[in-house]
Amino acid sequence: MPEKVTVQYLPDYTYSQLLTAERHAFVSDEPQEAGGDDLGPSPYELLLWALGSCTAMTLLMYARRKGWDLAEVSIHLTHDRVHAQDCQDCEEETGKVELIRRDISIRGQISEEQKERLLEIANLCPVHKTLTSGSKIVSSILVGA
Domain-wise residue ranges, the chain: 1-41, 43-132
The CATH superfamily assigned to 43-132 is K homology (KH) domain (3.30.300.20)
pTM (two decimals): 0.86
Q: Output the tens digit of pLDDT for each of the chain's 145 residues.
A: 678 999 999 999 999 999 999 999 999 999 999 999 999 999 999 999 999 999 999 999 999 999 999 999 999 999 998 766 655 555 655 577 889 999 999 999 999 999 999 999 999 999 999 999 988 999 999 998 6
Is 127 exposed, middle or buried (CB count within 10 Å of its CB: 0-12, 13-18, 19+)?
A: middle
Rounded Cα distance between 102 and 79, Å, is: 9
Closest listed residue to residue 81, CA positions, set 95, 67, 65: 95
Q: How far apart are CA 142 and CA 71, in angstroms?
A: 47
pLDDT at 35: 96
Counting Cα atoms < 13 Å in the Cβ hemisphere of 35 gives: 2
